[in-house]
Amino acid sequence: MVSWADILIMTSQEKPAYALALHGGAAVLAKSEMTAEREADYRSGLTAALTVGHDILAKGGSALDAVESVVVSLEDNPLFNAGKGASLNVEGHAVLDAAIMDGASLRAGAVALLRHVRNPMKLARCLLEESCHVFLAGEGAEEFAKARGLELVPVDYFLTDYRIKHLQLVKAHLAALGAQGTQANPAPIVMEEPAFGTVGAVALDHNGNLAAATSTGGMTNKHGGRVGDTPVIGAGTYANNETCAVSASGHGEWFIRAVLAYDIAARMAYGGRSIAEAAEAALIERLTTLGGGGGLIAIDKRGHIVMPFNTLGMYRASIRAGEAARVEIY
């Protein structure tokens, strides 16, 4: 099911001085599981992150700084599947991926398979600024973080009771289905609490620059060494001033196969489609047709924001200069 309402919002107004959208994952709790207290916690986490990014943009700061800071705020919030509170892999470890991209220069920083870097987004930004490389993974990435003085933490820092319980639930669910080991065939798991969810942000700044950033613990019960779409430039994260900035959340294997974020930009660049048309087509014709679940946030150079998803909901928030903030879940 696609959320058409969000595909169509915010596309008819004048270009704002700046605009920002963020997501906390397209795997939301079912309404039956969402208590008023939990909903208030999610909304306050989304609002806090939106405020951090808005403050930067309102003072004339860059889209790149805004999306980095928004994602760091969400990484530090244990409710979301990134940084502290990340999903756990089949061995019960948090293994983190992140990426950031600057739409003005097309510079990008992507990191994967991190175990000790407190804020993977800070490492991705550091890579974007200070390295000739785009993508570092595993030990080498953590050595780069150490050399740059980024905060390293013990592996237990990332663990939360909620994610430990969720991993047990997913394993029990797979066992009941007679499945072995990890989600070798990553079909959506039908249960109250889906096995994905991630965080990301996209922004347009005063100078007309776009940026995108995404960070995740990936899929619950993922195989050791598995890397999802989040740090794959063009799949889960992409930004280009000529078209749009995109951050995705969902079952990463499909986003990689569909090259989904870049697919939206390509529909705009080569097909002359609007961001709403491009995002809708990518979500329906690519992701949903392939059988994938998830959602995305995207923004174009005119500050139009779209936030479609084909899941039950997506934790999300947005704001444009001079307009009220929106914080939504379903």
Pairing type for strands 108-114 and 135-137 reads parallel
The token pair that represents 223 in the structure block? 């195989």
x-or-dash string of contact with ligand ASP, 63-92, rule CB under 6 A: ------------------x-----------
Q: How wide is the angle at C-alpha 242 spanned by C-alphas 261 and 2, nearest 5°?
A: 35
Distance CA(221)–CA(117), nearest Å, equals: 20
Out of 11, 47, 160, 198, pick the active-site residue. 198
- Report whether 253 contacts 290 (CB < 8 A): no
Q: Least separation, in Å, of the C-beta of 228 and ligand ASP?
A: 2
- Report whether 96 contacts 71 (CB < 8 A): no
Between 61 and 217, whose beta carbon lies closer to ligand ASP?
217
With CB under 6 A as the contact rule, which of the stretches 113-121, 169-177, 211-219, 285-293 interacts with ligand ASP? 211-219
Distance CA(251)–CA(214), nearest Å, equals: 14
Looking at the chain, list the stretches that DSSP marks H as alpha helix, in order from N- to C-terminal side: 4-8, 36-58, 63-75, 120-130, 138-147, 161-176, 252-258, 260-271, 275-281, 289-290
Task: Rule CB under 6 A: say whether 228 interacts with ligand ASP.
Answer: yes
Between 120 and 252, whose beta carbon lies closer to ligand ASP?
252
Work out which of 16, 197, 292, 293 binds ligand ASP, going by CB under 6 A.
Answer: 197
- What is the residue-wise DSSP string for 105-128? T--EEEEEEESSBS-HHHHHHHHH
Between 54 and 84, whose beta carbon lies closer to ligand ASP?
84
Work out which of 3, 77, 183, 216 binds ligand ASP, going by CB under 6 A.
Answer: 216
With CB under 6 A as the contact rule, which of the stretches 15-23, 216-224, 275-283, 303-311 interacts with ligand ASP? 216-224
Task: Rule CB under 6 A: say whether 198 interacts with ligand ASP.
Answer: yes
Find the binding residues for ligand ASP in span 249-268 (CB under 6 A): 249-252
Task: Rule CB under 6 A: say whether 236 interacts with ligand ASP.
Answer: yes
Find the binding residues for ligand ASP in span 117-176 (CB under 6 A): none
Strand order in the sheet with 210-216: 135-137, 108-114, 96-102, 210-216, 199-204, 19-23, 316-320, 326-328
# residues contacting ligand ASP (CB under 6 A):
16
With CB under 6 A as the contact rule, which of the stretches 35-43, 158-166, 226-234, 312-320 interacts with ligand ASP? 226-234
Ramachandran sector of residue 168 (left: φ over 0; alpha: ψ -120 to 50; beta: rest): alpha
Distance CA(69)–CA(75), nearest Å, equals: 10
Work out which of 24, 25, 188, 292 binds ligand ASP, going by CB under 6 A.
Answer: 25
Q: Least separation, in Å, of the C-beta of 186 and ligand ASP?
A: 8
In the residue annotation, 311 being an active-site residue is answered as: no
- Report whether 210 contacts 204 (CB < 8 A): yes
Work out which of 135, 158, 196, 262 binds ligand ASP, going by CB under 6 A.
Answer: 196
DSSP state of 32: G
Between 28 and 145, whose beta carbon lies closer to ligand ASP?
28
Please give the span between the terminal C-alpha atoms of the chain, in angstroms, as a whole number: 12
Q: Least separation, in Å, of the C-beta of 147 and ligand ASP?
A: 26
Task: Rule CB under 6 A: say whether 219 interacts with ligand ASP.
Answer: yes
The residues of the shown chain that bind ligand ASP, judged by CB under 6 A, are 25, 81, 196-198, 216, 218-219, 228-230, 236, 249-252
Positions marked catalytic: 198
